[in-house]
Amino acid sequence: MIDFSLIETLRWQPDEGFTRLRLHLARLSRSARRLGFPQPTDAEAKLEATVAGAAGSLRIRLTFDAQGHIEVTRATFVPLGKDTVWTVRLAETRLDSSDRLLRVKTTHRAVYEAARAEYAPAEADEVILLNERGEVCEGTITSIFLDDGTGILRTPPISCGLLAGVLRTELICRRQARVGRITLADLDAGTLYIGNSLRGLIRANLVRS
């Protein structure tokens, strides 16, 4: 029995609407198909109903379960400043690149919660996970991007064991990012960015403990 739901976390702006809505809906539909869930045909309508009358920036969370039930909640969202730099650290917790569930966004988040719990909130804004081969995969809530001096950001391939993030997909489609494996040595040599669809691209400072 499937005991988890699919998740999409979106940003909504009163003057712009939903950020990257089409990519979010496409990922939700693709994930549902892979897992044998029904298609979320009324997801967009429920999202629009949730933001009706809103006047400020919102964080929208949609969950979709194996029975086809959709739940949408909203919360006030404060966007990050353009000069924000996050402190990130490395987790001892490892991802298993053969775990295909890592490639879809679900409420089954034990491995990410374990990694996040390795550091107090004051010690790290985000925690990066590696796979069993020591390859860089993703953060607990973000995709990883490396400026290696080529002019195009590098981001790890899905085969390393990670989520196809919506921001990641957009940057690849725009040819602002390309897929390529990232090692710890690469992180030390390049400029690190992390990001997701809710918060956008964030400059990151990796602290080795």
∠ at Cα 193 (190, 195), nearest 5°? 160
What band does 93 get if pLDDT is binned at 50, 70 and 90? Answer: very high
Mean pLDDT of 81-90: 95
Q: Which domains does the chain have, with CATH numbers?
A: 6-76 (3.30.470.10), 85-206 (3.20.10.10)
Looking at the predicted structure, is the pLDDT value of residue 41 above 70? yes
Looking at the predicted structure, is the pLDDT value of residue 1 above 80? no
Tell me the per-residue pLDDT of 134-189, one tens digit each, with 9 for 90 and over.
Answer: 999 999 999 999 999 999 999 999 999 999 999 999 999 999 999 999 999 999 99
SS3 assignment for 130-196: EECCCCEEEECCCEEEEECCCCCEEECCHHHCCCCCHHHHHHHHCCCEEECCCCHHHHHHCEEEEEE
Residue (of 143, 204, 203, 206) closest to 179 by Cα position:
143
